[in-house]
Chains A and B, each alone.
Chain A
C-alpha cells in the first residue's frame, strides 16, 4: 500500500505526493502524456529526440544538469510508445533545485540550434548502438509494421529510420513543445520527507504561473482486428535463427491484462514452463524461448520469442509450438501453479516498491491511466484471477489468424 496525497493546480497540473520519512533523498518525477504514438508518420522518433532536447537548456536556465548535479542530484528520462517520463533524484533539502529546473523547462525550452544539431547526432549514434549494430537489434523495427497497419504502434520509439531524424526541423521542435509540453498534459509526482503543506506551497511557487493550455484530444486510428496469419523472414549474418510470434491482445486498462500477464509468466518461466520443457529440454528445438507482453496503453501484444538450436527448422518449431498453445487453451493450468505465479508476483512487487523512484514512476503512470489509486488495487486484481480465466485468454488469443510471425534466419540455416 502506497499512500499519497493529490491536488491539481489552476493551470491543470496534476500533483501527487508520497511521504517517505525514512529516506534523506527526494524524487521529482514528471510524466508527460506524449509518446511515439503521437508522432506524425513522416516524423517518427520525434518524441524521443525531443526528450534529448529537454536537457539542452530552458528559457531562463542555460544547462539543465549542472545545477542539479551541484545540488547533489542526478536526472534521466525515457520515452516509450505511450509516455515520456523525466525524473530527478537529489538530497531532500535541495528539492527546490529540481522543482525550479522542471518548472522552467515546462514553461519553455531555449530551442538552440546547437542543441538540436548535437542531439540529432547523439540519437543517430543511439540508433546504431542499440538497433543497427547489434545482432537481432532491428527485430522490432520489422515486427511492429508487420502487426500494426493503421495504429502508430507500427513504428518504434527510436523511429522508422535515421533519415527521418536527420530531417527534423527547429520549427517542428517548437510545434511539438507547444502541443505536448504544458501543465495540463503533465503529472508531477514528488516523494520525500516533507509536510504536505510545504509541497503545496513549493509546487504553487514554481509551477503555478505557467500558463494553462487546452489539452489536445488524441485522435488515433485504432488497429482493425487481424484476419489472417502474417509472416516475414529476414536472412541475416547471425549465428542462430530467431523467432518472434506476436499475438494481438487488449490494452493496459482491459481486465484481461492481468490474465495475460500471469499467463506470460507461466509460459515464459525459465526451467518450469511448458514451452521451456517441451521445446527446449525434450524436443531440443529451441536454444531459448520466453513469453512476455508489451503492456501498452492501446491494444498490445503477447510475444513468444526465442532462438532455434542449430540444425533445427521453423517447420519443426511450428509443428511443436501450436499444439502446445492449443493445449493451454484446452486445459486449465493447475491451481497450485496459479498460486505460485501469484506469490512470485507478490515477491517481485515488494522488491520494486523498495525503491523511491519506482514508487514515483508507478504513481504517475497509474494516475495517467485513470487514477493513482489503481496502483494499490493491482495486487487484488491479480489475486482474483482464476485458472479458467487464463484458459479463456489463451483460447481467445492463441489463434493463428491473430498472430504475426517474424523470423530472423541465420545465413547458415538458410543454405
Chain B
C-alpha cells in the first residue's frame, strides 16, 4: 500500500562520464575538437575567432560580426543566404567580450557544403556600403528600443562601473552608428577573422573525406596570436540608481569582481552561490519570491571569462519594494555569514548540483559545451572530477568562511534602474 507521506528513497549519483572529444591539431596550429558517435543526423561546426566586442572598438566588432557573409565581388547577401537555405543549414554569430563565435547547424551530409559557403563568403567578404548602412539603421533603432528597458539600462551601468577604466568597460554608444566606415570593418576582418581563428568545435558523424576537406579549409586561416590583455580591474563600489519615469519595476544588478574556475576558491564558492541564489529553492528565491512575492524571479550567478570572473545578483522588482529587496538580500548575506548552513539544506544542494552536472554532461552537444567551458580556461575535464569531489566534501564551516570573505555588502556595486 502506498504511503504518500513517505518520500521514495533517493539514490546518489555514483559516476558521471565526461567524454573527451577527439583533438586534431591543424597545420596552422589551431585545435579542432571533434565529437562523433551521434545517434541522429544532426551536425554542427563552431568557430571561435579573436574578434570580440572589447578587442578593439565594440561598434566595429559588432557590425563586422553582423556582416560576415553580407557580400563578395560575385555574390550578394541574399545569394549567400539562398545557398545556405538550399542546404537546409542555419547560421548564427554571437559575440562575447573576447570572441566572436560562428555556429553552423546542418544535417551531417550537408555540413561540409554549408561550411564551404560560409568559408568562401567570409574570405571574399567586401562589406558593401549599402549593407553597412542598412545594418546601422536597424541596429540604431534596436538600440533605442533597448534603452526603454530597465533591464538593459541596469546591465549597461553595471558593466560600465564593474569594469571601470578597463578595456571591458567599452560599450557601443548611439552616435557610434554614424561614425563607422567600411574600411574599419575590412581591417578588423583581416586582422581578427582571417588571422584570428582561436579554436574549432565539430559535432556530428561526418564522413572521413568530408572531415579531411573541412580541415583543409580551416587551414587557410591564421591562428590568432594572443597578446596579454592589459586588464586593470578597478571596479566601483556603492549604489547608483537610474531613475526612469513611470516605470512599474526596477531592474537590479548587485555584484563584485570575483574569479573564474582557475581560482582555488571557485568550486566551493559555486556551492555557496547555489545555496544563495542559483536554483529554484535558493535562499533569495525562497525569501524574496516565494515568501514576500516581490518579484517574478531573482538569481545569483558567477559569470566567467578567460581573464576574469564576477559575481552578480539580478532581478526585477516592483518599484515600491526595491528598498525592501535590498534589505532582504543583505539579510541573506548576513545569515550565511553568521549561521552555519543546516545539514539538510546542504545535502539537498549537494544532490541538486550533482544531478545538474549529470544533465550537463548528457548528450554529445551538451558534453562538448562542457568541454569548451574548461578548455577556455586552459583546464581539462578532470576539473569536473575535482568539482564533484568538492561538492561531496564541502562543510558548513567552509561555506561560512567563504561567505565572510566574499559576501560583503559594502564591497558590492549596487545598480538599479526604474
Contact = CB atoms under 8 A, between A and B. Distances in A.
Interface of A: 22-25, 59-61, 63, 65-67, 69-75, 89-91, 93-94, 96-97, 100, 103-104, 107, 117-123, 125-126, 128-130, 132-136, 205-206, 209, 237-240, 269-272, 277, 280-281, 284, 287-288, 307, 309-310, 336, 339-340, 343-348, 350-351, 353-356
B107 A118 contact: no
Given A69-B355, A123-B296, A356-B362, 8 more contacts: A25-B359, A69-B351, A72-B13, A74-B352, A100-B8, A133-B248, A239-B148, A344-B88
Given A65-B281, A69-B281, A125-B293, A100 B7 contact: yes
Interface of B: 2, 4-5, 7-11, 13, 16, 39-42, 77-78, 81-82, 85-90, 105-107, 110, 134, 137-138, 141-142, 144-145, 147-150, 247-249, 279-281, 289-296, 316-318, 347-349, 351-352, 354-356, 358-359, 362-363, 365, 418
B4 A100 contact: yes
Contacts of B8: 94, 96-97, 100
Contacts of A74: 279-280, 352, 355-356
Contact of B359 (A89, A121, A128): A89
A122 B137 CA distance: 38
A24 B362 contact: yes
27 contacts: A22-B39, A24-B16, A61-B7, A66-B348, A69-B352, A70-B347, A72-B351, A91-B11, A96-B9, A118-B290, A118-B293, A121-B293, A125-B293, A125-B295, A126-B296, A128-B248, A133-B150, A133-B248, A240-B141, A271-B81, A272-B85, A287-B137, A344-B88, A344-B90, A347-B105, A350-B42, A354-B363
B106 to A, nearest CB: 6
B330 to A, nearest CB: 21
Nearest to A23: B362
Contacts of B7: 61, 67, 97, 100
A122 B293 contact: yes
Given A74-B279, A125-B318, A307 B348 contact: no
Contacts of B354: 72
Nearest to A97: B8
B154 to A, nearest CB: 12
Given A72-B355, A125-B296, A134-B149, A209 B11 contact: no
A273 to B, nearest CB: 10
A353 B39 CA distance: 11
Nearest to A21: B39
B149 A135 contact: yes
Nearest to A63: B281
Contact of B86 (A75, A307, A340): A340
Contact of A104 (B4, B9, B105, B134): B4
A341 to B, nearest CB: 8
A90 B357 CA distance: 11
A128 B249 contact: yes
A206 B8 CA distance: 11
Contact of A128 (B144, B280, B318, B355): B318
Contacts of A239: 141, 144-145, 147-148
Contact of B355 (A65, A90, A103): A90
A129 B365 contact: no
A347 B88 contact: yes
A145 B13 CA distance: 51
Contacts of A67: 7
Contact of A340 (B88, B293, B352): B88
Given A93-B11, A94-B11, A340-B86, A72 B352 contact: yes
A118 to B, nearest CB: 4
Contacts of B148: 134-135, 237-239
B40 to A, nearest CB: 6
A71 B10 contact: yes
Nearest to A136: B145
A201 B152 CA distance: 51
A91 B13 contact: yes
A103 B7 CA distance: 12
Given A22-B39, A100-B4, A281-B134, A347 B296 contact: no
A307 B141 contact: yes
Nearest to A93: B11
A60 B358 contact: no
A339 B85 CA distance: 9
Contacts of B249: 125, 128-129, 133
A209 B2 contact: yes
A22 B17 CA distance: 12
A280 to B, nearest CB: 8
Given A23-B362, A269-B85, A347-B89, A94 B145 contact: no
Contacts of B11: 91, 93-94
A212 to B, nearest CB: 17
Nearest to A118: B293
A346 B88 CA distance: 8
Given A24-B362, A72-B354, A277-B78, A94 B10 contact: yes
Contacts of B144: 239-240
A287 B138 contact: yes
Contacts of B294: 121, 125
Given A72-B354, A100-B8, A307-B141, A66 B281 contact: yes
- Interface pairs A-B: 6 shortest CB-CB: A72-B355, A121-B293, A343-B88, A239-B144, A96-B8, A60-B4
Nearest to B87: A343
Q: Quick one: which of A63, A117, A351, A355 has the most chain B CB within 10 A?
A: A351
B412 to A, nearest CB: 23
Contact of A119 (B107, B134, B293): B293
A72 B358 contact: yes
B137 A309 contact: yes
A89 B355 CA distance: 9
Contacts of A119: 293
B167 to A, nearest CB: 30
Nearest to A345: B88
Given A74-B356, A96-B8, A122 B279 contact: no
Given A118-B292, A122-B295, A134-B149, A347 B4 contact: no
Nearest to B38: A354
Nearest to B357: A72
A346 B89 CA distance: 10
Contacts of B349: 69
Contacts of A288: 138
B38 to A, nearest CB: 9
A288 B85 CA distance: 20
Contacts of B88: 340, 343-347
